[in-house]
Chains A and B, each alone.
Chain A
Amino acid sequence: EVQLVQSGGGLVQPGGSLRLSCAASGFTFSSYTMNWVRQAPGKGLEFVSGISSNGRSTYYADSVKGRFIISRDNSKDTLYLQMGSLRAEDKAVYYCARVASPYIYYFDYWGQGMLVTVSS
């Protein structure tokens, strides 16, 4: 059974940092592109960042570029999102998601979500 189990959310002050993790199981993690998607309270889904299966290619939404870093450890089957210079508008539930296919870019499995609150 495919599982994506997230950890690392919580409360952080503006300007602070936080790292999210997403532990994968039930599939060959190193074969799949992975993404982070977030959802601000009462709002829609927003792409945050993506990383190729081997970690060599990464891409970011303009809203987080230069502040967030996506990475992965294929030896640990884990995806990360290092968030820095956090702002109030980064408050959201963050989901990790698996890209189903290298040819058609959609998400077939999602993590349970992790709330990040940015407040003093």
Chain B
Amino acid sequence: SYVLTQPPSVSVAPGKTARITCGEGNTGSKSVHWYQQKPGQAPVLVVYDDSDRPSGIPERFSGSNSGNTATLTISRVEAGDEADYYCQVWESTSDQVIFGGGTKLTVL
């Protein structure tokens, strides 16, 4: 079955750039979407269709997808960005939603 692999954790200092990857599964052939989840809260969509941002999401959040890896990039990281981040695709051959295992972003 289709698998999306994310690093369990990423740490970054405030003001720096965080990059969270999502790969292993020919992601370049699918649209990848990203969610932010803070403790005790429902997930929030931050990037969809590889690189589009919903209204209300800061421009600091951006996405890319090439080959076997999709990447969520958070520029000028703030303390409020500390959260778990999940990538997601739709696997049409099996009618399944696939989530990556999640990455905990820690702001140092």
Contacts and interface: CB of A to CB of B under 8 A. Distances in A.
A107 interface: yes
Chain A contact surface mostly: strand
A69 to B, nearest CB: 16
A106 B31 contact: yes
Residue in A50, A104, A106, A112 with the greatest tally of chain B CB atoms within 10 Å: A106
B9 interface: no
- SS class of chain B's interface: helix, strand, loop or mixed? strand
A45 B42 contact: no
Contacts, number: 58
A44 B8 CA distance: 11
Given A44-B102, A106-B48, A95 B97 contact: no
Interface of B: 31, 33, 35, 37, 42-45, 48-49, 54, 84, 86, 88, 90, 95-102
